[in-house]
Amino acid sequence: MIDNLLQNAARHTDAPGMVRVAIWRDGNFAQVSTEDTPPAAPDGALPQLFDRFYRAEGSRSRALGGSGLGLPVSEAIVKAHGGTITATASDLGGLKVTFTLPETRK
pLDDT digit string, tens, across residues 46-101: 888 888 886 766 434 344 456 677 788 899 999 999 999 999 999 999 999 999 99
- Residue 18's pLDDT band, with cuts at 50, 70 and 90, is very high
Averaged pLDDT, 36-46: 86
Q: CB neighbours of 63 closer than 8 A, spacing ≥ 6? A: none
Distance CA 98, CA 21 (A): 10
Query: What's the pLDDT at 14?
Result: 86
For the chain, domain boundaries: 2-102
pTM above 0.85, yes or no: no
CATH class held by domain 2-102: alpha beta
